[in-house]
Amino acid sequence: MSSNNSGLPRIAIIGGGLGGLSLLLTLHRRGVPATLYERDPAFDARAHLGGSLDLGWKSGQRALPENGLQDAFDKNSRPEGEDLRVCDGTGKVHLKLGGEGDTPKPKEDISLAPETTKLPALAETVANVGKGTMFAMEDSRILGAQVNGDGRIRTYAWLRAPESWTVPSDSIAARAALKEEFTGWAGWILNLIDYLDESAIYPRSLWSLPVGHKWTHVPGVTLLGDAAHLMSPFAGAGANLALLDGLELGLALADLKEKGTLSDISAVSEAVKAFEENMCAMAGRVAEKANGNLAVCIGPDTPQAMIQRLWEQVGNGEREG
């Protein structure tokens, strides 16, 4: 951070993810100049990697009305996407959450690849996945399916394996390797592998920073989002925390502008330091929950253990949805 001719500091935001964009918009709407730098050449450069996000009303959704995005969110969001189904490898459903009236009828027209296909054999799969998210889990393995906004079903396979384990680069071999991991599972579940888009297989390891990770404050620079508190997706919090980080840091800096102290390096440093302390404390609590969820979900006693943990979190008020 440096000063410009207006007397206000020059703020550079590195990375156009949710956190960076949330920060940029929060600042711009309050008259604080900032410049965002992004490596990817186009807004949709990583569209093939995206999925649906569940924005919590106490975290991610807070950034929407503050920045004039509520109407757009209401127009484009999918409330039915919150439907959740949990089953075991045999296909037996152990948990189903969602409105009774929203239960979808089997369709023959589905899109598991870029182009819509007519595959009657997938009717049972589509019906069992529903309109939101389905997790088939058993014996430390998960095959999850999520209906995206464009109608496609995105499939996720999670399993415990040595760090050296990789998915073959050849798409046919990759499909065979995945199917071998889920041998004996119900046919409608395995359809998620049999009919996947061969050009869209992406191996990803799950990495996380240590719970409670933080750093000594350095004036003029800070971190937010995954750069500050990377965790597994098993708390559904990465996007929510990034949006909240951007909002809260932006509001803190905008408040200094209103007070006329944004050009005071000491005042900025104190505000950013306070932001970091609050962010790291919240992220630490969420990361601990994410680690616990991961251990249960990719464990030997799923799906029953996962369902029990879910109800405990609901009872304790730990879940926003």
Domain count, the chain: 2
Residues 54 and 128 in one domain: no
Q: Which of 173, 194, 215 is the last residue of a domain?
A: 194
Residues 143 and 230 in one domain: no
Average pLDDT (282-298) is: 95
Q: Could you give the CA distance from residue 74 to residue 145 in angstroms, rounded to a whole number?
A: 24
Q: Exposed e or buried b for every residue in 275-288, given b needs 16+ CB within 10 A?
A: bbeebbebbbebbe
Strand partners, 85: 96, 134
- pLDDT(204) > 50: yes
- pLDDT(4) > 80: no
pTM, to two decimals: 0.88
Higher-confidence position of 52 and 187: 187
Q: Exposed e or buried b for every residue in 72-107, given b needs 16+ CB within 10 A?
A: eeeeebeeebbbbbbbbbebeeeeeebeeeeebeee
- pLDDT(51) > 80: no
Domain assignment of residue 320, yes or no: no
Neighbours of 67 (CB within 10 A): 21
- pLDDT(32) > 60: yes
Domain assignment of residue 125, yes or no: yes
Q: Could you give the CA distance from residue 24 to residue 43 in angstroms, rounded to a whole number?
A: 15
Residues 84 and 72 in one domain: no
Residues 70 and 92 in one domain: no
Confidence of residue 7 (pLDDT cuts 50, 70, 90): confident
Higher-confidence position of 254 and 53: 254
- pLDDT(266) > 70: yes
pLDDT at 113: 46
Domain assignment of residue 201, yes or no: no
Domain assignment of residue 264, yes or no: yes
Domain assignment of residue 229, yes or no: yes
Residues 142 and 101 in one domain: yes
Domain assignment of residue 104, yes or no: yes
Confidence of residue 54 (pLDDT cuts 50, 70, 90): confident
pLDDT at 3: 56
pLDDT at 2: 57
Residues 189 and 88 in one domain: yes
Q: Which of 171, 194, 217 is the last residue of a domain?
A: 194
- pLDDT(68) > 90: yes
Higher-confidence position of 227 and 167: 227
Residues 90 and 72 in one domain: no
Residues 62 and 157 in one domain: no
Residues 217 and 295 in one domain: yes
pLDDT at 108: 40
**The domain spanning residue 276 has which CATH number?**
3.50.50.60
Please name which of 109, 178, 121 lies closest in space to residue 144, comparing C-alpha atoms.
Answer: 178
Residues 96 and 60 in one domain: no
Residues 157 and 112 in one domain: yes
- When the pLDDT of each residue in the chain is averaged and rounded to a whole number, the result is 88
Angle between helices 265-297 and 238-259 (to 10 degrees): 170
Residues 52 and 83 in one domain: no
Domain assignment of residue 199, yes or no: no
221 DSSP assignment: B
**The domain spanning residue 111 has which CATH number?**
3.30.9.30
Q: Which of 159, 194, 229 is the last residue of a domain?
A: 194
Domain assignment of residue 202, yes or no: no
Average the pLDDT over each of 65-74, 117-126, 128-137 and give the range with the smallest value.
Answer: 117-126
pLDDT at 1: 58
Domain, as residue range, for 92 = 79-194
pLDDT at 52: 80
